[in-house]
Structure 1
Amino acid sequence: MKTLTDLFQTFPARGDATACIHRTGVRRLLFSYAKIHDLSLRMAAWLGSQGIGAGDRVVLWGPNSPWWMVAFWGVLARGGIVVPVDFMSNAERATMIAELTRAKLILQSNDKLERVHRLPAQLMEELAFLLEKIEPQSSVFNASPDETVEIVYTSGTTGNPKGVVLSHRNLVANILQVNQHIPVVSSDFRFLSLLPLSHLFEQMGGFLTPLYNGAAIVYIRTLKPSAILEALREEDIYAIIAVPRLLLLLKGSIERKLAAKGLDRTFSRFLTRMDKVPKGLRKELFLPIHRQFGRHFTLFVSGGAALDPEVFLFWDRLGFTLLEGYGLTECSPVLTANPLDRQKLGSVGTPLPGVTVRIVGGEILVRGENVFAGYFQNPAATDEVLQNGWFRTGDLGEFDGSGWLRIKGRCKELIVTGAGINVYPDEIEALLNRTAGVRESCVVGLDRGAGEEVHAVIVPDGGGRPLDEIIDEVNRQLDDLHRITGGSVWTEAEFPKTTTLKIRKFQVKQRLQEGANASAGGAVDRLVLLIGKITGMPAERITDDALMVADLGLTSIGRLELVNALEQEFRLDLEDSIIGPQSRVRDLREIITRRENILLREHFRLWTTSAPAMALRRFGDALLHYPLASAFALLESQGREHLDGIAGPVLFVSNHLSYFDHPAIMFSLPEHWRYATATAAWEEFFFRNFKNSAQKVWKRCAFEYASLAFTVFPLPQTRGFRGALRHMGRLADRGKSILVFPEGERSVDGTLLPFRLGLGIMVRELAIPVVPVRISGLEKVFPRGAAWPHRGAVRVAFGEPLYFTTESPTEIVAVTRKAVESL
């Protein structure tokens, strides 16, 4: 293998083996290697139709997904150059990078409220519909090893991002080096992709390495805690490419759960005694924790920043394998790593095969085929770091007696005090982060005119411990020459960070020097930006006291979009029900600041679609339901031929006349459709709208019966319906169709009422055909308000399936309602 296109050409031979799984939050979609290969060639053909040729740059500004993968390989198959942009970057940065690289096209995301408008653009999510009509490109561009694959702009922790030009030779060399150094990945592996694919650490460890070995990659739409844990439980994950901050967050999640059960002290004491216990026994002792990660979970790979020894010891003592490595974007990116058979505390391991590392004046210098040839159109910056065949990393390090590398910090972050003493901020931050009262810390050097001052900035943990007391405790652990001499409390929810969760220290330092860190760039600003994008309101109208609905005009669809955006931006677990008529902007800000996860107890049951449950439903229909329905309704069905040739699942959308609507539709369907369809029913009828305890018990019993006998599930109307939407997605993943009544209430005289806009969200997220259904006659047989049904004729008509692609939710609702009305 000499080029990445050689790797791409191995995909067809892997055939139906799973390349990636996309968990959208609603659906679970599988993509085989053969499918990715076919879609990528279609992508290449489409790029050709847009005038993209060899050497042309294409910006990828979207979240991790199969469509990012298809776009990447499509650009390479066309001979183009990929320019990945961090999904969390704003439109200004994306535009700047596109203009610097003179990109001809930008592929952006519907999940990003901001858009780039200065050059041709295409939404990644629309590729699924767009590529269906394109014939695959007949051949793959024949790249040479030294041709450019991508231009990657650094994350900007120093405030001076540069475009790193990487060739096929660089990336292929690192793939082979990584897999020779850590020969553990097989085709059985599944990687959970959490870091952005614009970052070379994830791209090498969680994208190219799995594909090189025929493994599978799991993508999740939002990186919120519940989505991560759910994927770990359900997808049999083997490995995660992680940054230290993510490992710390997972550690905190485990400790909070244990503390809630009163087991934290016992656990902590037990854990410290694990150092001499064999790893296999540790796994058995902490089996309940290991089960949360899946039965085959094998390893974490940590990189991107220094790993706190306490975090390493936590996972190691639990029996997990944690491999720490070191690298830079300029090195494709991996340079060193701990091997699988031995992990050394505080070390980033030994150099990969073919990588040479030496220390000159404390700085780490490297060379190898994986090292880049220069920055994009920046010869001065290139000459500064590439000297006599060696790349100056800008990192400080040392080898221990066994030849294992230890990282001391960044050259630019090294603090030189007035006494000429070198202070490494990472070492002090590690102490601060383990001190009571500190949630997170950042140590910078502030020049007061007589050398730099060691200045600690902390984000407090909410316990109210004074800053002076925290600094005194840490200083007692340091020698006199390295002590903290000044401190500040950061008043925002967290420090400004890259998407790999490294603190942008230059921004912290800049704001300290300006003396104003209370509001700029914090949670408040981002929240106002998101609300403004969704509601269309100017920023000055979005005040703390503004009511989300009455003052800012937030619609039901806007509410769902805002909660999705908040989860994406702040990595929280929320429900759209948190925004009600009385919700104000300040309420959302408090939830974000407290990192408060809002989860509700739901009443969804997948087991009601199982074979035993369907057998009971068939028995009930034959014995009771059908005789009862036929005693009153003389059924006539029309248009069932429209269901021929559809494999399912589909979304049946019907008007609503009577409590008999469900049996009338079910008994009008062919049997194989009837027992593969679940029905959404008004949640409030079962769980909220009751006058007394007796009625509450009766309605709960009615739900239990309907759930089993009719495969009914609740769909709320007065609160958020995201839980119901997720349940619908799970049903669709299992091949089950869904029946909904989008009017939300029964019509008195048969007149079709307006459809709820939530239908548009359902159709867009489920991505299945819509079959319109029209019932007539039931308004006379069992009308609204009647105590007992009357015998009469009932007609159920099925329309032709509707296939939606890029339509908006409002357009989907209008087209669907018209189709139902016309039957």
Structure 2
Amino acid sequence: MINIKPLEKTALIHKGQEISYISLLENIKKYSNILDIKPEDKVAIFSENRPEWIYAFFAVWEKCGVNVPIDFMSSEDELFYILNDSKPAYIFTSKNNKEKVLSVKLKLDYDIKVFIFEEIDFSSQIFENKECKKLEEDLAVILYTSGTTGQPKGVMLNYKNLLSNIKSIEKVEIANSQDSTLAILPFHHSYPLMVSMLIPLHLGATIVFLDELSPQDILDKLKKYKITILIGVPRLYALFHKRIFDKINEDFFIKIVFKLCKKINNQALSKIVFKRVHDIFGGNIKYFVSGGAKLDLDIAKDFQVLGFKIIEGYGLTETSPIVSFNPPYEIKLGSVGKPIEGVQVKIEDDEILVKGDNVFVGYLNKIEETKKAFKNGYFMTGDLGYLDEDGYLYITGRKKEIIVLPNGKNINPEEIENIILKNFDIVKEIAVIQKDNQLFAIIYPDFEVVKKRNIVNLEETIKWNVIDKYNQTAVSYKKIGGFKIVNTELPKTRLGKIRRFMLNQFLEKQERTAVKEEPKTQTYSILKEYLEKYTNLSVYPDSHIEIDLGLDSLGKIEFLTFIESTFGIKLDEKDLIENPTVEKLSYFIDEKKQKIEILEIDWKKILSQPVSFE
């Protein structure tokens, strides 16, 4: 089984405090003593990463119970759904979520015991640990899927499932008791649960907790605790890559050196040449491990040129989660490696099918959905891919995300999204959907880039410098027919995957700006009346003048002229950038206005002004 050894070494480091393996076991025992559960009773953990999360998790196993980890950022509705579906007898949480848990508790049709980590009284009542024997087929954990395509499902994993992953990783000797890692990703997700918690503790390695989820804290901890294995998701590596290459591209000499190292292709040499980059990450990194989503190949190649080993793997919650990963000394960048020992992978109609001890027991309370997930004993992953001649697996897309156009052409939206993200830094996030029988892009710009470049007409810039340039290089059926700029991030899972089933609803919400209490000022009322007449749209306090109301260059000039004639102040387009919503602009005008006088628009003056399309 999955056991923690009583070692005389550090298991966990939290806020500067080192917790030994012996102390870890003692704390697990304390938590086990406050649980009054029978074998296979369920216990939920609803908290941010912290040592108590681990104490509670293993305490449940000590009593032969079943863990139900829950995303600590879940809404009340999401928490209610999971608790109502799984019916845990207890829930562990922290002060951060205390009110949310107590609120949901009142809505449940059964009683659940609540433990707040900061408030537990271990002396109040002790329930002796009765001897219970765990079998490999016994249920160990229920993990709720992140729900990229719909309502989350409870994935039931037994000890055999989890052990298949642990033993496979242990056998290739990718890590050992001398290694250390950061607990960056939330334990409720199958990927960090396995690779950031279960495997390190099984091996006797050290887990370091972050004080805050920020790039700086990550870098500080990497240096201070000499971290050897960094476990992250593609978004993390993309962030570090951008920071590093922003600096590299500023220095002509370093750019030349990088190109030379790329040509020489010697990692040992690169490690020496780019020692300063390695020192930023603490100087002890053996591997960057990436999972949870597809890693951009160019980013992987660039890190390799810098002398880093980057190991990409593949898996799903239903496969415990590891299906495959790149062997440390036989890495093929762009692939997700070879299937782990005991796992069979085959491709049928381009879909990846998996069979082995890692494959889950079934979906909780969903017998029919469980049956539909299998074909001739193989789990149908829903992912598209292929195996090369050496047995390495490559992921090409997600079956449910493929867009089928009226002409019968199949489009992988992620492919288009990656091209645009790679080539146009003004785009921070993008999702491609089908709308009105054509491809349509939802774009969340990088507003820091917009501000830095003094872009005064964002709509025109995106239209001509992004969409049009992409369309010029795309085949006809992959061209984007329309787009919408949004001023909030796209709906994503905690690991950064776009929740595509929510995109249409998200787009409708963006087009129907939420009602907010309106300022009771004359200036706001005048601006609102003008804009509603001009655009024929409903105007709200947080309506973005360009993104939501669609004012083009001529519209902005007319609007600025109206402001000058009405309030006696002369503004320019940069003022609109710095005060982009109707509410902010009204406050800005209130501070500077000389008068309030509504006059007719001087069209001659407007048409004499130059129009900018930059």
Q: TM-score scaled to structure 2, two decimals?
A: 0.77
Q: 1:237 to 1:301 in 2, by over 3 A?
A: same
Asked if the contact 1:447/1:453 (under 8 Å) is kept, the reply is: yes
Asked if the contact 1:444/1:505 (under 8 Å) is kept, the reply is: no
Asked if the contact 1:77/1:140 (under 8 Å) is kept, the reply is: no
Where does residue 424 of structure 1 map in the other structure?
412
Asked if the contact 2:40/2:64 (under 8 Å) is kept, the reply is: yes
Where does residue 204 of structure 1 map in the other structure?
194
Q: 1:271 to 1:155 in 2, by over 3 A?
A: same
Where does residue 495 of structure 1 map in the other structure?
490
Where does residue 693 of structure 1 map in the other structure?
none
Please report how far the alpha carbon of residue 88 of structure 1 lies from its aligned counterpart in structure 2 after TM superposition: 1.6
Where does residue 133 of structure 2 map in the other structure?
142
Where does residue 218 of structure 2 map in the other structure?
228
- The answer to whether residue 121 in structure 2 is matched with residue 125 in structure 1 is no
Q: 1:373 to 1:517 in 2, by over 3 A?
A: farther
Where does residue 602 of structure 2 map in the other structure?
none
Where does residue 168 of structure 2 map in the other structure?
177
Cα distance in 1 for partners of 2:462, 2:14 equals 45
Question: Among 97, 101, 111, which residue is 2:96 paired with?
Answer: 111
Cα distance in 2 for partners of 1:517, 1:278 equals 54
Where does residue 45 of structure 2 map in the other structure?
60
Please report how far the alpha carbon of residue 235 of structure 1 lies from its aligned counterpart in structure 2 after TM superposition: 0.9
- The answer to whether residue 309 in structure 2 is matched with residue 321 in structure 1 is yes
Question: Among 319, 330, 336, which residue is 1:348 paired with?
Answer: 336
Please report how far the alpha carbon of residue 138 of structure 1 lies from its aligned counterpart in structure 2 after TM superposition: 5.1
Secondary structure of 2:423's aligned partner: coil
Question: Among 470, 474, 477, which residue is 1:478 paired with?
Answer: 474
Q: Deviations over 1:308-339 (max 9, x none)?
A: 11221221111111111110000000001111
Where does residue 271 of structure 1 map in the other structure?
258
Secondary structure of 1:426's aligned partner: helix
Specify the code of the residue in structure 1 equivalent to 2:87: R
Q: Deviations over 1:735-792 (max 9, x none)?
A: xxxxxxxxxxxxxxxxxxxxxxxxxxxxxxxxxxxxxxxxxxxxxxxxxxxxxxxxxx
Please report how far the alpha carbon of residue 266 of structure 1 lies from its aligned counterpart in structure 2 after TM superposition: 4.6
Map of 1:627-666 to 2, 5 A cutoff? none
Asked if the contact 1:346/1:406 (under 8 Å) is kept, the reply is: yes
Q: 1:191 to 1:132 in 2, by over 3 A?
A: farther
Question: Among 145, 151, 158, which residue is 2:142 paired with?
Answer: 151
Asked if the contact 2:248/2:255 (under 8 Å) is kept, the reply is: no
Cα distance in 1 for partners of 2:417, 2:71 equals 26
Asked if the contact 1:458/1:489 (under 8 Å) is kept, the reply is: yes
Please report how far the alpha carbon of residue 486 of structure 1 lies from its aligned counterpart in structure 2 after TM superposition: 2.3
Cα distance in 2 for partners of 1:282, 1:517 equals 52
- The answer to whether residue 292 in structure 2 is matched with residue 301 in structure 1 is no
Question: Among 207, 211, 217, which residue is 1:217 paired with?
Answer: 207
Question: When the two structures are aligned, how many residues end up with a matched partner?
Answer: 501
Map of 1:353-752 to 2, 5 A cutoff? 353-448=341-436, 452-462=437-447, 463=450, 464=455, 466-469=461-464, 470-492=466-488, 494-513=489-508, 516=511
Secondary structure of 2:31's aligned partner: helix
Q: 1:365 to 1:30 in 2, by over 3 A?
A: same
Larger radius of gyration: 1
Please report how far the alpha carbon of residue 256 of structure 1 lies from its aligned counterpart in structure 2 after TM superposition: 4.6
Cα distance in 1 for partners of 2:247, 2:334 equals 28
Asked if the contact 1:491/1:518 (under 8 Å) is kept, the reply is: no
Secondary structure of 1:273's aligned partner: helix
Identity %: 34
Cα distance in 1 for partners of 2:361, 2:439 equals 37
Asked if the contact 2:143/2:156 (under 8 Å) is kept, the reply is: yes
Asked if the contact 2:32/2:129 (under 8 Å) is kept, the reply is: no
Asked if the contact 2:491/2:506 (under 8 Å) is kept, the reply is: no
Cα distance in 1 for partners of 2:137, 2:225 equals 38
- The answer to whether residue 19 in structure 2 is matched with residue 22 in structure 1 is no
Q: 1:415 to 1:438 in 2, by over 3 A?
A: farther
Asked if the contact 1:432/1:441 (under 8 Å) is kept, the reply is: no
Please report how far the alpha carbon of residue 510 of structure 1 lies from its aligned counterpart in structure 2 after TM superposition: 2.4
Specify the code of the residue in structure 2 equivalent to 1:471: I
Q: Deviations over 1:442-462 (max 9, x none)?
A: 3333242xxx42222222123
Please report how far the alpha carbon of residue 35 of structure 1 lies from its aligned counterpart in structure 2 after TM superposition: 1.1
Cα distance in 2 for partners of 1:520, 1:437 equals 32
Please report how far the alpha carbon of residue 140 of structure 1 lies from its aligned counterpart in structure 2 after TM superposition: 5.6
Asked if the contact 1:91/1:114 (under 8 Å) is kept, the reply is: no
Asked if the contact 2:486/2:510 (under 8 Å) is kept, the reply is: no
Cα distance in 1 for partners of 2:309, 2:119 equals 40
Asked if the contact 2:417/2:432 (under 8 Å) is kept, the reply is: no
Q: Deviations over 1:532-589 (max 9, x none)?
A: xxxxxxxxxxx99xxxxxxxxxxxxxxxxxxxxxxxxxxxxxxxxxxxxxxxxxx9x9
Cα distance in 1 for partners of 2:241, 2:369 equals 39
Specify the code of the residue in structure 2 equivalent to 1:75: V
Asked if the contact 1:365/1:393 (under 8 Å) is kept, the reply is: yes
Cα distance in 2 for partners of 1:326, 1:83 equals 23
Please report how far the alpha carbon of residue 114 of structure 1 lies from its aligned counterpart in structure 2 after TM superposition: 4.5
Q: 1:295 to 1:388 in 2, by over 3 A?
A: same
